[in-house]
Amino acid sequence: MDNDFYDFIIIGAGLAGLASAALLAKDGYRVKVLEAHTASGGCASYFKRKNFTFDVGATTLSGLGEGQPLKILLEKLNINLESLKFQKKNLAMRIFQDGTEINRYANFDLWIDELSKHFCNSAEERNNMKLFWEKLYKIESDSWKLLESNSNLLPATVADYLSFLKPKRILKNLNAIKYIPSLFRSLKKLLVEYKLEQNSKFIEFLDEQLIISTQSYVDKSPELMSALGLTYASELYYPYGGIHKLSLALENALENYGAEIQFKSEVTEIETIKMNREKIFFIKDKQDREYLSNYVISNIPLWNMVNLCSGKTRDFFKSYANKFEYNTSAFALYFAVETEEDFDELNYFQIICPELIPNCSAKSFFVTLSPKDDHEKAIPGWRSVTISTHTDANFWLNLDSETYKKKKNETQNYIFDQLFANIPSLREAEKEFISSSSSKSFEFFTRRKSGLVGGIPHSTDYNILDLMPKKVPGEKLFMVGDTVFPGQGLVATAYSALSLRETLKLNGVD
Ligand SMILES: Cc1cc2nc3c(=O)[nH]c(=O)nc-3n(C[C@H](O)[C@H](O)[C@H](O)COP(=O)(O)OP(=O)(O)OC[C@H]3O[C@@H](n4cnc5c(N)ncnc54)[C@H](O)[C@@H]3O)c2cc1C
């Protein structure tokens, strides 16, 4: 038994767990983070091969603009943004569609010109295109304001609900009421409003952009989430050294504030016991270490929680696991490549293929190429590359080893073919450390059940209020991370930690 009694045990050192731990430690609580892996970061972690570093999943950063969640989080923790080498991209990404190259500029006017060039055939269409994007950007900026002034969405307690009526919030909240329908109607409705719904090439483009950010397509992705997902490229950053630099900064912050992390500690059991008439938590890990705490914050997916809890708490998680029975995972391909090419200083590309990628559930893949001068990721003259796409988790889980290898090669070869068809200079370039991962690998490295990554897709199929609340009713057990509001992505998980901290404050954990 770890002799110490903690105020908070945090399960998982993903971005949301680290952020929650650092915020609580800063406020003077005794906090311990238990992490199954040997490094933090979860889906935003890394691995090394000789002199190369590869991001395992996430590669892009956003949410660092004024009033946005990651910026607020870093400020609260006194983490100096300047000390982290995050480079804002003016040319955020290049999308290859049907033999054309679409440059996603951060600047609004340049972006509208680019869209007009590729997708509009008349002055009327160009005007509608501009109005459509103006609307998306308006929804986006109002959404950030709403999240900034209400850092405790979705409400989980009576105190959360009452807090929305605070005088300094109420005006902003009344202003936000007009966006409520945007949570329930799909982006398609907005396209109809701006007479763009018949533009099939543009719809295909939007579909493939949305699958990255909301994991849904135009006809299912809610308008509000679509607006956030389609505009994030205007505030996109490349993190030098790798995305895990953000986790490392959080790790340093939480340790500086006095919290501890126990690596190689895979939690297998969370029970409540009575001590001095108080209900407290008893937590056990795979290595038979035992911990006691007053509160538990879980940063692991809700599907994983079913097997760690018992009784009513288990039933609670089971009901959400059944409600959100998704099968979404990722296929990722990693390699180092020797090239002196500049690629217009681009680091992000999306390639839309003519058909579904073999053994996958999407027809596009996302490519991240480290910049020429990122020598933490690759030696001079070389680049580190991470490519990812969507796949069904179950497909990979029960294959015998020979079929598994064969299917992986099939997918890998197809992705390479499409990559070289669109960026021919990479075909002959020297490559090293080629490897790929599927749901099986994500299950092993992130411990996420069945390798289900990306959280719960945003969809009009369910009501946002149906999402799992961050507090388990009747328990001092809370959830953060991408399976609770606001869902997938590093910005969303940062918000979930900020939101939980606010809820705890409103409930007396000040
Ligand atoms: C291929 C891919 C590409 C992506 N690209 C982007 C992107 O470019 N930008 C972006 O913003 N987002 C991206 N995302 C999404 C983003 O990475 C995730 O939404 C986010 O990192 C999830 O963070 P989290 O804290 O919720 O959980 P996780 O990252 O899953 O962290 C959970 C942690 O808990 C640990 N753990 C699990 N079980 C246990 C246990 N029983 N005991 C102890 N520890 C445990 C895990 O090891 C892990 O460290 C991508 C995701 C994937 C998979």
Mean pLDDT of 470-495: 95
Ligand 1 touching residue 57 (CB < 6 A)? yes
Q: Residue 8: what pLDDT?
A: 98
Q: Beta strand pairing status for 46-49 and 52-55?
A: antiparallel
Q: Which of 293, 323, 312, 395 lies closest to 21 in space, CA to CA?
A: 293
Q: How confident is residue 415, by pLDDT bands cut at 50, 70 and 90?
A: very high
Determine whether the shortest distance from the Cβ of 393 to ligand 1 is under 6 A: no
Is the Cα torsion angle 9, 14, 20, 21 positive or negative in sign?
positive
Which are the contacts of 3, defined by CB distance < 8 A and separation ≥ 6?
none
Confidence of residue 149 (pLDDT cuts 50, 70, 90): confident
Does the beta carbon of 214 lie inside 6 Å of ligand 1?
no
Least confident of 88-97, 151-160, 374-383: 151-160
- Domain 5-41+66-79+241-325+464-506: CATH class, spelled out: alpha beta
Please check the confidence at residue 7 and state whether its pLDDT lies above 70. yes
Ligand 1 in contact with 14 (CB < 6 A)?
yes
Of 88, 87, 377, 47, residue with least CA distance to 242: 377
Q: Lowest-pLDDT range, 152-161, 174-183, 265-274?
A: 174-183
Residue 188 pLDDT > 80: yes
Average pLDDT over residues 44-63: 97
Residue 245 — pLDDT band, cuts 50, 70, 90?
A: very high
Check residues 496 and 159 and name the one with the higher pLDDT.
Answer: 496
Q: Residue 59, CB half-sphere, CA atoms under 13 Å: how many?
A: 29
Check pocket membership of 451 for ligand 1, CB cut-off 6 A.
no
Distance 58 CA to ligand 1 centre (A): 8
Section 52-66 average pLDDT: 96
| Full DSSP string of 271-329 | EEEEETTEEEEEEEETT--EEEEEEEEE-S-HHHHHHH--HHHHHHHHHHHHHT---EE
Contact 366, 210 (CB under 8 A): no
Contacts of 336 (CB under 8 A, 6+ apart): 49, 52, 378, 382, 383, 384, 385, 431, 432, 433
Helix (H, G, I), strand (E, B) or coil at 332: strand
Structure confidence at residue 177 (pLDDT): 76
Q: What pLDDT band is residue 3 in, cutting at 50, 70 and 90?
A: low
Is the CB of 250 within 6 Å of ligand 1? no
Amino acid at 161: Y
Percentage, residues of the chain above pLDDT 90: 87
CA–CA distance, 249 with 11 (Å, rounded to integer): 19
Determine if ligand 1 sits within 6 Å of the CB of residue 267: yes
In angstroms, rounded to a whole number, what is the distance separating the alpha carbons of residues 498 and 505? 11
CB 227 within 8 A of CB 140: yes
Return the DSSP state at 345: G
Percent of the chain with pLDDT over 70: 99
Q: Is 469 in the pocket of ligand 1 (CB under 6 A)?
A: no
Q: What is the pLDDT of residue 288?
A: 96
Taking residues 157-170, report their average pLDDT: 80
Regarding the beta carbon of 215 and ligand 1, being less than 6 Å apart is answered: no
Mean pLDDT value of segment 51-55 = 97
* 314 CA → ligand 1 middle, Å: 22
Q: Per mean pLDDT, which range of 319-328, 405-414, 461-470 is the poorest?
A: 461-470
Residue 165 pLDDT more than 90? Answer: no
Using the predicted structure, report yes or no on whether residue 167 has a pLDDT greater than 80.
no
β-pairing, 46-49 with 31-34? Answer: unpaired
Our answer on whether the CB atom of 481 is closer than 6 Å to any ligand 1 atom is: yes
Mean pLDDT of the region 266-286: 95
Pocket-testing residue among 213, 254, 300, ligand 1, by greatest number of atoms within 8 A of Cβ: 300
Mean pLDDT over 145-170 rounds to 82
Residues 6+ apart with CB under 8 A from 114: 102, 103, 104, 105
For ligand 1, the distance from its centroid to the CA atom of residue 344, given in whole angstroms, is 30
What is the pLDDT confidence band of residue 2, given thresholds at 50, 70 and 90? low
Contacts of 109 (CB under 8 A, 6+ apart): none
Residue 411 predicted with pLDDT over 90: yes
Residue nearest to atom 5 of ligand 1 (CA): 58
Query: Number of C-alpha atoms within 13 angstroms, CB side, residue 439?
Result: 24
Specify the 3-state DSSP secondary structure of 32.
Answer: strand
* Cα 269 to ligand 1 centre (Å): 21
37 lines ligand 1 (CB under 6 A): yes
The response to whether residue 386 sits with its C-beta less than 6 Å from ligand 1 reads no
Cα(159) to centroid of ligand 1, in Å? Answer: 29
Q: Are 215 and 228 in contact (CB under 8 A)?
A: no
More confident residue, 150 or 16: 16
Span of 154-163, 292-301, 351-360, 463-472 with lowest mean pLDDT: 154-163
Contact 293, 271 (CB under 8 A): no
CB atoms within 10 A of CB 446: 25
Is the pLDDT score of 242 beyond 80?
yes
For residue 173, pLDDT beyond 70:
yes
Instruction: State the average pLDDT over residues 257-263.
Output: 98
The reply to whether ligand 1 has any atom less than 6 angstroms from the CB of 490 is: yes
Rounded distance, CA 8 to CA 478, Å?
10
Instruction: Give residue 200 CA to ligand 1 midpoint distance, Å.
Output: 34
For 26-59, b where at least 16 C-beta lie within 10 A, e where not — what string? beebbbbbbbbbebbbbbbbbbeeeebbbbbbbb
For the question of whether the overall pTM of this predicted structure is more than 0.95, the answer is yes
Taking alpha carbons only, the member of 431, 437, 481, 152 closest to residue 304 is 481
Categorize the per-residue pLDDT at 1 as very low, low, confident or very high, splitting at 50, 70 and 90: low
Q: Is the pLDDT of residue 191 over 90?
A: yes
Q: Where are the domains of the chain?
A: 5-41+66-79+241-325+464-506, 105-237
Mean pLDDT of the chain: 95
Distance 446 CA to ligand 1 centre (A): 7
